[in-house]
Amino acid sequence: MQAMEQSKSRIELLDELASKLNEAISMREKQLIGNVALDLEIAIDDAPSPVRIVSPKDDNADNSDENEDVDLETIKLDDSQELQAPYDGNADLKTDNELINLEASTSGNMSKEADRINSLKGVSSYEEFLEHIDQQLRDIEVELVTFLRFSSLILENKDKLENSKVQQALDVLEGVHQLRGRIESIVQKKAGVH
């Protein structure tokens, strides 16, 4: 009889503990959702202003052959725009065009960010989540390659190796490649393909 009462009191205690735990979990979920929503609003509101790039004057014409592996006429930024490499004396006109291109790129990036957030709402399985992460990493990879190509136009060969930001971008690009490889192997294991 005493054992039944002890069992009953333990069950009641566990029920009470479970209800308090569920309350705490739901409160934490609400806080997390609120913080994420607040961070997204701040990220959209405080999007960085476009960077104005002023190209150096063409004092050294003999240094132009150092970057033979990169097409000096144009670099493809994304499907909708191209950045013209400086090759004449109209620097002010070019920087204005670059500013317009960067402003268009920034507004496009903000809408892309909103689309990325909305696309997460449709993720309902682990495989879809992995595909979504792979797509995000693919986008990051494209942006890093664009950055590295653009920096190769601006920096001389010696400066490229010494510039810490370029080196960090190369390290991040290598990390992204490794992550995408790991995701691909996980997806293949899930699909049963080796």
**pLDDT tens profile 90-103:** 444 444 555 555 55
pLDDT at 103: 57
Q: Comparing C-alpha atoms, which of 177, 176, 178, 155 is closest to residue 165? A: 155
pLDDT at 13: 84
Show me where the domains of the chain are located.
1-46, 57-191
Give the span between the Cα atoms of 50 and 110, in whole angstroms. Answer: 12
pLDDT at 73: 40
For residue 107, name the pLDDT band (cuts at 50, 70, 90): low
Buried (b) or exposed (e) across 46-78, using 16+ Cβ within 10 A? eeeebeeeeeeeeeeeeeeeebeeeeeeebebe
Residue scoring higher pLDDT (124 or 64): 124
Give residue-wise pLDDT tens across range 9-47: 888 888 888 888 888 888 888 887 777 777 665 555 544
Contact 105, 97 (CB under 8 A): no
Whose tokens are 């065009």? That residue is: 97
Please state whether the predicted TM-score (pTM) of the whole model is above 0.85.
no
Tell me, rounded to whole angstroms, the distance of Cα 38 from its chain centroid.
Answer: 19
Percent of the chain with pLDDT strictly greater than 90: 0
pLDDT at 93: 46
Answer yes or no: is pLDDT of 79 > 50.
no
Give residue-wise pLDDT tens across range 126-163: 788 888 888 888 888 888 888 888 777 777 666 666 67
Residue scoring higher pLDDT (116 or 84): 116
pLDDT at 77: 43
For residue 53, name the pLDDT band (cuts at 50, 70, 90): low
